[in-house]
Structure 1
Amino acid sequence: MKRPLELADYYTWKVPAQPALSPDGCRVAYVVYQSQHKANEDNASLWLLGADGKSVPHRLTRGNTADNSPRWSPDGRHLAFISSRADESEVVAAVTGPEEDPDWPARDKPRPQLWVFDLERGGEPRQLTRTREGVTDFDWCPDGSRLVFAARDPELAQLPYLRSVRGKGDFKDKGPLVLDRTQHKADQSGYLDEVRTHLFIVDAASRAVTRLTGGPCDETAPRWSPDGRWIAFLSNRTGDADNNLRSDIWAVSPDGAAALRLTFGDAGAADVRWSPDSRRLAFVSSLEPENLYRLRHLLCIDLEAAEPVTDLAAHVGRGWLTIGGTVPEPAVGDPANHARVYPVPERTTPYRVLTAGLDRPVIGPPVWLDPESLLVPLGDRGQTRLARVRVGGTAELVFPREDRLCTVRHQGLCAAGDRIVVVLGRAETGADLFSLAPSDLEEPGADDRALRLTRLNDELLADRLTSSYVRVAFAGAGGHSLEGLVALPPGFDPASGRAPLIVNLHGGPMAYDAPEFRFDVQYWAGRGYLVLMVNYRGSTSYGEAFCTAIRGDWGPREHDDVMRGVDALVDRGWADPERLYCTGFSQGGIMTNWAVGHTDRFRAAASEHGMWDYVAAFGTDDCHRWWQDDLGMPWHNWEGYRKMSPMVAVDRIRTPLLITAGEVDWRCPLSQAEQLYVSLKKRGVPTRLVIYQGERHDIDKPRRAIDRIRRILEWFAVYGGIPLDDASAPGYPDPNPCP
């Protein structure tokens, strides 16, 4: 007899990502993520499978390592990837540091390096690089003899400081951090130094490395043109990269003798891809880089429109009428507009916007099907779907159908030969790889012709009940259309009685809840809760106006949308109005803090990694450019920051609140959770603060992920929720039981 998911199943669940088709379209390499119980780490392993679905998946890598970013050599014989596994002894002996740096590399955990399989010969992968700081991205040259890669590249003069702050070499403790950058911290990275990322070329046979770029700017995301003449990359060369998001597309010849500039600062670029004939580049841009509410579109430029650059390393701060950066005093008029002091380019880029007619955001990188057409993932009504886009200007959504509750996963698309492989997620079964032919997208019915290649979780699901999702539509205050997804408890029948409801609020806010498997949502539904996920105003995938509606005024609109979703489920007879609960992570935590200050309808709530006082957050988080564009500077706009902060309603909060935070979260800093916690304690509101030590904004340890799921349900159970009786996987002990 099937039973609901248990917490221990978290360690069994598998998630595929990053499919890569061989050049002939016959084989697909992909990554499978799975949590490891004993190591308390998330593992990423490489797998190989025939694209016709007739072969058994073959596991290429094992062990507690992170193996990702698989990419085929052009002849299909070799598969390169990035791995954090221990260095090969042969490479350690062959690749040594300079005499001036006897401690290189720092003797701590291995850095991500380039490795390559010879799939014709078989055997273990061969290590290609041993860089000080690790490899971040790479690409093959068309003849397969070399690879270009990006890596942080500290100068010799910077090494003593790096050893000091890391407590390495002669330093027995960690020295002081000395900061000069405006963007002085970043979540996941910590405090930022002055080390830049540059491009290098490694010979696939000899491992010999040649520097390609250098200087005061970062060069990232290298992509080698199919004809071998150019290596495109991204770089912000305004000279003030900490105060804007103007990454442009540049290109350099493989010998470093020539360089080009392809975009000119009017459209921040990402996810650059060459056309098969090397004549064009497609890329993703919002057209207004610092305004995060704008839609991300797919753009295309012609290589022939590029501008030659004589000295790439010295080409910094050139081509701009103004660089911007410093906010002038005093503020006049709109404080946000006053603070939008961004670079003004001398010229514009002759790009074509290929998705302008869809009013939907591009979610990930495109893939070229031929020199005139591409596939690109777009957000559409809470789903990620594929759009077929032609360089001539037409674009249409083609897969999956709108009425199918499934979604294309992030980093889940590739194409080669006559095949397309996509990672498609469903709420009930999780994500798997599916294969199609480009011709399948020409006519209706592509969903039915998609060939399922993997069944990663079928063994577990044979013995487990999972929740199905339904899409619920309702009207907003102004008559605008709203939607939400509802996870139903297995076997739920409204005729047998209402169920307690958990409102689960997504982060962002520029994001959306999609119909895909989420362990926390499935687990809560399996315990008997309805789970409501509302795509409130500010969410993407419903058009630019819907997303921009909350710009500079977070709180009231989103909250009203969410509560109307709650009312819709109560009116349907599904949700028990006496047992309503609320939780959310990041922006969802912020909205939870706002909700408990504006309604008493929730019996209890859990705010995860949220924020409380935006004035106090400014400069302690890593989002100063966002605040600058949204609200201006706090000293120019005290009232705007104040009215958006959940803290403004502290005197109205009576709802028991569980608060969680990461100790070194730089996106929503711990201090925000502490201020909220002490404020509620002083007012006598039942509250508890849980700080995950060493944790940043995301939950990156499996046991902590299980612990948060457990704690939320235990908190709700104290205030009328369903008691939790699952001892299959422990979280962490408490000094006292829940109050």
Structure 2
Amino acid sequence: MSTFDDLDAFVATRRQAGLALSPDGARLVTTVAELAPDGTKPVTSLWEVDPTGEAPARRLTRSAAGESAAAFAPDGDLLFTSRRPDPTVEAGDDEPAALWVLPRHGGEARQILAPGDGITSFEVARDAGHVVVTTTVPVGPAPEPPEGTQDTDEAPDAAAALRAARKKAGVSARLHDRFPVRFWDHDLGPGRPQIRVHDQLAADRLTEPVAVVDPAGPTERVRESAISPDGTRLAVAVDVRDPGGASGATGDRGDPAAVRVRLELRPTGGGETEVVADEAGADHEMPVVTPDGRWLLWIREEHAAPGRAPAQSLQARELAGGGTRTVVEAGRWAIRSVTGAADPDVVLVVADEQGHAPVFRVSVADGSVTRLTASGAYGDVVASPEGGAVYAMRATMDAPPVPVRLDPHTADQEPAVLRGATEIDDVPGTLTEVHATAEDGTPLRAWLALPAGASERSPAPLLLWVHGGPYMSWNAWSWRWCPWLMVAQGYAVLLPDPRLSTGYGRGFTDPATGAWGGLPYTDLMTVTDAALERPDLDASRTAAMGGSFGGYMANWIAGHTDRFDAIVTHASIWHLDGFVGTTDGSYHWVRQWGDPITDRDRYDEHSPHRFAAAITTPMLVIHGDKDYRVPIGEGLRLWYDLQRHGVESQFLYFPDENHWVLKPGDAKLWYRTVFAFLAHHVLGEKWERPALV
């Protein structure tokens, strides 16, 4: 029995993500998730990884609440967030995330900041040590202070008073005056995001903020920020209204709900705010300040339109002022991250490329590029301060994320793997590629995960697995959608990158934007045909599955071919108009599909629900009730339409899960149900209902 034959062992495997490097380059810290003692939830902790790769990883923190989001202060103290109770005060029932510090010389961690609504994220200025904290503050009128309250020290904080009054009255309602109201799996409000800049520790606590960033107007919202190394300036990305920027908008008012992102530069010591970039039809986000404090960099993303995918470019300007320059032109890459390097005028960029996500060394001065890595998908990139090394988390399609060390100058290198916290068996098969050519001459490719025993004498059944997004690529390990669990069951898993996938240029994404049922579908069928030419695959036993956009494609496939024996569709789009109107960011999709009233033909042509009567393939529908990206109504409508058309189908419903299925018990049940459904319909085995459902 390997890890991939035993769901309990697979779910219990430690998983690591994130890297923080100390100012002297001697300490590297990652966050590790593992099961709580009762096995019902994951708990995170901080672990130290030896940058030389010699010593094993060692655990630094331990609590029932867990710790995450590590960052070093200039003096080497380690900061992190946790919901653990402060041992010096009486704990409440539901502690919000607070900021803690673990002294560099050892000793107990201590809490240094605990805003009432908790900490969403934080950042530390590289040289000055300013701590930038994002939290939320309630909106609405505060209750009157208790009668007789006169002294200001006695009067309750207005935000705390409002929180307490809502709790006492049993109120959970939120009154919104702007779109959106939900995001992924949680409700927005009743507070608004606020950024606070603290300049130093005093008496084991952060001082009062020296700067507070609130939206300029009631319809604006701060999103993310980056502070200069000396702590004097803060770059802030702010959501603002973009009524004329939505390509599908109609009428004189455009789309009042649409949003774009403006980039601002604010002095932390007071002074005028400078608008660095703001334009209709584009977002300016993901700000980064280089370690030497010279350059402010950010991503400019052109909004999508029918026939035009979102296109990213890397922008830069000197922090001291001057004109903006384009470092990487629009559409060249789908950029995942930008990180400052030790060398002046150099940044490290991670972007999708041909089924990988390499690290690129990019010159801000002249735009020259060196690809540092030959294979794999990278994230959490950090550069050593002396310039001798780059550290990152590296994953591949057949190996989970591990910490690695790179040389900051060598092209197409294989990294030095460091000793992390994840221990897992080798995958139960081999990884290869399938290549094909679309009817229009476009090259297509896919990963193929083959079980160890597949051969011409014993061909494996094929499972077509479509990725989500749609603007993404099969290029990295996934704990949640792990093909190797299916390989352990005897299936060959085909993982294609059809049109709309990133890493192949704008010509690969533009033609299918706002036309998902066209080229993506024919590409998937073309790659499937090419794979089934292999003698070690069994064309008489096939299935298809996917989630999110992949679920849309699974539904589309079901209505357009009966070639598969079974189809599994997770968190899927069924009624395109209904999805666009109820998802958490409707305006994003209106840009791609157009107005659902005036552009009716596009919606009707590409909505899977219109082909329900053509479906004959058995289907397993899976959906979580807390999914706000693809709301539960899509799964319910699909299930009803399948039932009323007499399609053999089952509905696996998770009342407490979101777009993903994250609870360990639910994740195991997800896989066991998929195993049973495919075994029955593809392998011809007797149906056995999974236990507990």
Task: Assess if the C-alpha contact under 8 Å between 1:610 and 1:672 holds in 2.
Answer: yes
- 1:112 partnered with 2:97: yes
- 2:110 pairs, out of 126, 134, 143, with 126
2:177 alignment partner AA: D
Contact kept? 1:262, 1:303, Cα under 8 Å: no
Q: Secondary structure at the match of 2:338?
A: coil
| 1:224 shift after superposition | 2.2
Q: Closer, same or farther in 2 for the Cα pair 1:560/1:362, shift >3 Å?
A: same
Q: Counterpart of 1:338? A: none
- What are the equivalent positions in structure 2 for 1:243-392 lying under 5 Å apart? 243-265=257-279, 267-288=282-303, 293-305=309-321, 350-356=323-329, 359-392=332-365
Per the alignment, do residues 300 and 456 of structure 1 end up closer, same or farther by CA in structure 2, a change over 3 Å counting?
Answer: same
**Length-normalised TM-score, structure 2:** 0.88
Corresponding residue for residue 205 of structure 1: 202
What is the distance in 1 between the residues matched to 2:642 and 2:110? Answer: 56
User: 1:154, 1:196 within 8 Å by CA — same for their partners in 2?
Assistant: no
Within the candidate set 366, 383, 405, 1:435 is matched to 405
Select the residue among 419, 437, 440 that pairs with 1:454.
419
- Contact 1:358-1:395 within 8 A present in 2 as well: no
Letter in 2 for 1:452: V
Separation (CA, whole Å) in 1 of partners of 2:162 and 2:53: 53
Change in Cα spacing, 1:254 to 1:420, as seen in structure 2 (3 Å) is same
SS at match of 1:246: strand
Counterpart residue identity of residue 169, structure 2: F
| Contact 1:185–1:666, Cα closer than 8 Å, also in 2 | yes
Give distance in 1, aligned partners of 2:683 and 2:163.
Answer: 47
Secondary structure at the counterpart of residue 286 of structure 1 = strand
Q: Displacement, 1:239?
A: 8.5
| 1:296 aligned counterpart, secondary structure | strand
Q: Return the offset for 1:131.
A: 1.1
Q: Is residue 2:611 matched to residue 1:662?
A: no
Structure-2 change in CA distance of 1:144 and 1:200 (3 Å): closer
- Give matches, 1:131-170, under 5 Å: 131-142=115-126, 146-155=130-139, 157=141, 169-170=167-168
Separation in structure 2 between the aligned mates of residue 225 and residue 724 of structure 1, nearest angstrom: 63
From the superposition, tell whether residues 545 and 146 of structure 1 become closer, same or farther in structure 2 (CA, over 3 Å): same
- Spell out, residue by residue over 1:309-357, the C-alpha distance to the aligned partner (whole angstroms, 9 max, x if none): xxxxxxxxxxxxxxxxxxxxxxxxxxxxxxxxxxxxxxxxx42222229
8 Å contact from structure 1 (residues 503, 582) kept in 2: yes
Name the residue aligned to 1:599: 561
Q: Contact 1:138–1:221 (CA<8 Å) still a contact in 2?
A: no
- Confirm or deny: 8 A CA contact 1:507 1:587 kept in the other structure: yes
Asked if structure 1 preserves the Cα contact closer than 8 Å seen for 2:121 and 2:135, the reply is yes
Distance 1:386 1:510 in 2: 19
Amino acid at match of 1:153: V
In the superposition, relative to structure 1, how do residues 142 and 407 fare at CA in structure 2: closer, same or farther (>3 Å)? closer
| Structure 2: gaps of 5 or more residues | 144-157, 244-254
Instruction: Quote the residue 2:83 is aligned against.
Output: 84
The one-letter code sitting in structure 2 at the alignment partner of 1:492 is G
Q: Which residue of 1 aligns with 2:169?
A: 171
Measured after TM superposition, the shift of residue 136 of structure 1 is: 1.8
Does the aligned pair in 1 maintain the 2:46–2:61 contact within 8 Å? yes
What is the deviation of 1:665? 1.3
Q: How many residues align?
A: 658
Identify the residue that residue 422 of structure 1 maps to in structure 2: 392
Q: CA deviation at 1:288?
A: 3.9
| Counterparts of 1:85 and 1:264, CA distance in 2 | 40
Please give the residue correspondences for 1:508-527 in structure 2 after superposition, counting only pairs within 5 Å.
Answer: 508-516=469-477, 518=479, 520-527=482-489
Question: What secondary structure sits across from 1:380 in the alignment?
Answer: coil
- Kindly tell me: are residues 37 and 683 of structure 1, through their superposed partners in 2, closer, same or farther at Cα, counting changes over 3 Å? farther
Q: In structure 1, list runs of 5 or more residues that go unmatched.
A: 94-106, 307-349, 735-739
Amino acid at match of 2:183: A
The answer to whether the 8 A contact 1:199-1:222 is kept is no
* Aligned match of 2:447: 485
Letter in 1 for 2:238: S
Q: Measure the CA separation in 2 of the matches of 1:612 and 1:725.
A: 27
Please name the residue that 1:316 is paired with. none
**Structure 1 residues 565, 36: closer, same or farther in 2, change over 3 A?**
farther
Change in 2 beyond 3 A, CA 1:166/1:365: farther
Match of 2:368 in 1: 395
The answer for the alignment partner of 2:73 in structure 1 is 73
Partners in 2 of 1:127 and 1:2 — Cα distance?
A: 41
> What CA RMSD, in Å, does the superposition of the two structures yield over aligned residues?
3.0
Give, as a single letter, the amino acid of the residue that structure 2 aligns with 1:132: G
Sort the Cα spacing of 1:142 and 1:565 in 2 relative to 1 into closer, same or farther, 3 A.
Answer: closer
2-structure distance, mates of 1:680, 1:166: 47
Match of 1:643, SS?
A: helix
Could you tell me which residue of structure 1 aligns to residue 692 of structure 2? Answer: 733
C-alpha separation in 2, matches of 1:65 and 1:721: 43
Deviation at 1:19, TM superposition (A): 0.9
Query: What residue identity is the alignment partner of 1:620?
Result: T
**1:246 counterpart letter in structure 2:** R
Between the aligned residues of both structures, percent identity stands at 22
Match of 1:22 in 2: 22
**3-state SS of 2:168 partner:** coil
Residue 9 (str. 1) matches residue 9 (str. 2): yes
> What is the one-letter code of the residue matched to 1:5?
D
Residue aligning to 2:642: 680
Structure 1 residues 180 and 259: alpha-carbon distance in aligned structure 2, compared to 1, 3 A threshold:
closer
Aligned residue for 2:238? 235
* Cα deviation digits, residues 214-243 of structure 1 (max 9, x gap): 353433433221233212222235587983
Question: In the aligned structure 2, how far is the partner of 1:665 from the partner of 1:65?
Answer: 24
SS of 1:496's equivalent in the other structure is: coil
The amino acid that maps onto 2:124 is W
CA deviation after TM superposition for structure 1 residue 625, in Å: 1.1
Aligned residue number for residue 152 of structure 2: none
State the Cα distance separating 1:554 from its structure 2 match.
Answer: 1.1
CA distance in 2, matches of 1:146, 1:301: 23
1:643 Cα deviation after fit: 1.3
Q: Which amino acid aligns with 1:180?
A: D
Name the CA shift for 1:731/1:693 in 2 (closer, same or farther; >3 Å). Answer: farther
The reply on whether 1:671 has 2:686 as its aligned counterpart is no
Contact 1:579 1:720 in 2 (8 A): yes
Alignment partners' CA distance in 2, 1:710 and 1:242: 45
Q: Distance in 2 between matches of 1:166 and 1:187?
A: 27
Distance (whole Å) between structure 2 residues aligned to residue 465 and residue 82 of structure 1:
34
Secondary structure of 1:365's partner? strand
CA–CA distance in structure 1, aligned partners of residues 164 and 651 of structure 2: 30
What is the CA-CA distance between 1:453 and the residue it aligns to?
0.9
Q: CA shift at 1:626, angstroms?
A: 1.9
Contact persistence 1:118–1:125 (CA under 8 A): yes
Say whether the 8 Å CA contact 2:303–2:309 is kept in structure 1: no
